[in-house]
């Protein structure tokens, strides 16, 4: 049963037909920045499942034979996840979505394969289908798991952009988003909904804005009618879709043709201070913005320190960087010297960070960027 697979180049912004496990195995390793996966959880699919040795799992229709069906689902999960993992760049990440039918098995297998869970996120549906028989709670949410490829991955997280999306408050792990209805819901020629579990674009919008950058490659191995691709294309990300059903692929192709990518300037998002160019404190002295020997005053004006010619400070029994001296004086584990230390101008105390901003402004002025 061994199949010869030729590793192709990664075809960007295309939908690939076929079984996602086989297709992924033929793609180049470590070529993808983000994976979004909405795998099937319908246990009726078990007839199409394969064990790791590629033997087919017998169709088991008996409802009581849960153990075998869970095992088959776990085998399927293990295989596609391993194939997906291979494609991820070392600093890549994955999102999976599911309900209580499958999310626990999915999450456990993610952990087993060495993915590092960063958050579980609750998609809280503002308009869920009620529980008609009154025997359970309204199933009003689905669960997403966001995980990096490994514990030490430097994953992408646009903290400031998400905070801005959330009215200036840190984005939480529970997201209120309506289900996909109305004109967004795709129909087939017969007027029926084209796909049973089409996800809202708002969900993918938040995921892609928050955990990818423009130009990144986003892979969706269960592409369906292409929500991931549509949002990726709109947001200037590259997508790779894999879908087994020809009908879904055709609908997705037509959908993607209509998407107009947004211009680059709109795609710029708020960035954190971490992204700003580094300015050594010594430059302030070199450029004469602070004189050697000048006195600096701590936040709260409890301590003083003197600037030395090499860009270090000297205070009472302490010397070192602006950060180190501040931390030692405060007895704190760390200290941001830029906001901690102040200098005197016209009798007023001004944070030295103002001088850093001045230098940064000059730097960006030189480079028209």
Partner DNA sequence: CCAGGTGCTGAATCCCCCA
Partner DNA sequence: ATGGGGGATTCAGCACCTG
* Separation of alpha carbons 224 and 248, rounded Å: 6
Q: Which does 267 bind (CB under 5 to 8 A by kind): a second copy, DNA, none?
A: none
Q: Identify which of 161, 167, 119, 169 has the alpha carbon closest to the alpha carbon of residue 144.
A: 119
| Shortest distance (Å) from residue 299 CB to a second copy | 12
Interface stretch with DNA, choices 38-46, 79-87, 213-221, 342-350 (CB under 7 A): 38-46
| Shortest distance (Å) from residue 108 CB to a second copy | 5
Tokens, residue 263:
């211009």
In the window 154-193, what residues touch DNA (CB under 7 A)? 154, 159-160, 163, 168-170, 178-183, 185, 193
Q: Which does 357 bind (CB under 5 to 8 A by kind): a second copy, DNA, none?
A: none
Q: Which does 198 bind (CB under 5 to 8 A by kind): a second copy, DNA, none?
A: DNA
Cα distances from 281 to residues 78, 194, 329, 339, 357, in angstroms, run 51, 60, 19, 12, 12
* Separation of alpha carbons 112 and 102, rounded Å: 16
* Separation of alpha carbons 132 and 235, rounded Å: 39
In the window 79-98, what residues touch DNA (CB under 7 A)? none
The residues near 257 (Cβ < 8 Å, ≥ 6 apart) are: none
In the window 240-279, what residues touch DNA (CB under 7 A)? 272-274, 276, 278-279
Q: Taking CB under 8 A as the rule, which mask of x and - marks residues 66-105 in contact with a second copy?
A: xx--x----------------------------xxx-xxx
Interaction of residue 134 with DNA, rule CB under 7 A: yes
Residue matched to tokens 């997280």: 157
Number of residues counted as binding a second copy (CB under 8 A)? 57
| Shortest distance (Å) from residue 288 CB to a second copy | 32
Interaction of residue 43 with DNA, rule CB under 7 A: yes
Interaction of residue 135 with DNA, rule CB under 7 A: yes
Quick one: which of 22, 68, 120, 184 contacts a second copy (CB under 8 A)? 120
Residues 115, 148: contact at Cβ < 8 Å? yes
Q: Identify which of 12, 5, 14 has the alpha carbon closest to the alpha carbon of residue 256.
A: 14
Q: Is the dihedral of CA 101, 107, 110, 111 positive or negative?
A: negative
Interaction of residue 126 with DNA, rule CB under 7 A: yes
Tokens, residue 179:
């289900």
Quick one: which of 263, 288, 293, 331 contacts DNA (CB under 7 A)? 331
């Amino acid at each position: 049963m061994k199949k010869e697979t030729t590793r192709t180049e990664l075809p960007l912004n295309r939908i690939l037909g076929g079984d996602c496990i086989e297709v992924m195995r033929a793609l180049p390793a470590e070529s993808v920045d983000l994976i979004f996966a909405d795998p099937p959880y319908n246990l009726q699919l078990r007839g199409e499942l394969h064990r790791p040795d590629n033997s087919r799992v017998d169709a088991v229709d008996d409802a009581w034979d849960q153990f075998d069906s869970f095992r088959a689902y776990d085998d399927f999960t293990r295989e596609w996840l391993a194939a997906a993992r291979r494609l991820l760049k070392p600093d890549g990440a994955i999102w999976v979505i599911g309900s209580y039918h499958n999310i626990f098995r999915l999450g456990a297998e993610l952990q087993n394969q060495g993915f590092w869970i960063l958050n579980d996120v609750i998609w809280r549906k503002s308009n869920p289908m009620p529980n008609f028989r009154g025997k359970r709670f309204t199933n009003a949410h689905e669960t997403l798991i966001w995980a990096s490829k490994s514990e030490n991955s430097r994953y992408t997280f646009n903290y400031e952009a998400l905070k801005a999306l959330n009215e200036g408050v840190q984005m939480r792990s529970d997201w209120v988003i309506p289900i996909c209805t109305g004109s967004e819901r795709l129909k087939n020629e017969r007027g029926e909904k084209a796909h049973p579990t089409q996800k809202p674009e708002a969900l993918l919008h938040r995921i892609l804005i928050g955990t990818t950058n423009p130009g990144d490659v986003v892979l969706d191995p269960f592409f369906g009618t292409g929500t991931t691709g549509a949002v990726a294309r709109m947001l200037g990300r590259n997508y790779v879709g894999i879908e087994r059903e020809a009908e879904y692929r055709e609908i997705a192709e037509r959908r993607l043709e209509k998407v107009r990518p947004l211009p680059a300037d709109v795609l710029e998002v708020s960035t954190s201070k971490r992204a700003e160019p580094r300015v050594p404190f010594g430059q302030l002295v070199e450029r004469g913005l602070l004189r050697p020997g000048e006195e600096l005053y701590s936040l709260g004006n409890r301590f003083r320190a003197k600037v030395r010619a090499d860009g270090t400070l000297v205070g009472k029994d302490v010397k070192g960087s602006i950060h180190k001296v501040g931390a030692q004086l405060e007895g704190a584990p760390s200290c941001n010297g830029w906001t901690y230390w102040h200098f005197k101008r016209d009798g007023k105390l001004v944070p030295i960070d103002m001088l850093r901003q001045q230098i940064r402004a000059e730097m960006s002025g030189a480079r028209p960027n």
